[in-house]
Amino acid sequence: MLECGAEAQIGAASSEPEKALDAPKQFMVAPRNAAVPIETTLDAVKRALQQAPGSRVLSSDQKTGIVVVEVPEAGVDQVRNALGSGFMFDPNAELRF
């Protein structure tokens, strides 16, 4: 009986990471050409985010031209492809204190 209980606990524990995989991920988006105005970057990013429902712009920095977005894991490839080679699309590292 203990083995069955242990298997049930293992099964329950293994389902939690699957939920985490579906969680939205944050990415930093920036044009490869620094001369691109932030308005142009934002327009391109917003168009690309339409490829993945549930995506959104979290912030943008006019000075650096960086836009931080949140994209569901299932839509990451679609957004990356929609942005094309003119943009960097890198995971945004979480800061933990």
The tokens describing 89, both together, are 């699309």
Q: Does residue 12 sit within a domain?
A: no
Contact 37, 55 (CB under 8 A): no
Q: Residue 85: pLDDT above 80?
A: yes
Looking at residue 51, what is its pLDDT?
94
Structural domain count of the chain: 1
What single-letter amino acid sits at 29?
V
**What pTM does this model have?**
0.74
CATH code: domain of residue 36: 3.30.70.100
Q: Residue 11: pLDDT above 70?
A: no
Q: Residue 37: pLDDT above 80?
A: yes
Q: Does residue 52 sit within a domain?
A: yes
| Sheet containing 87-91, strands listed edge to edge, beginning at the edge strand earlier in sequence | 56-61, 66-71, 25-31, 87-91
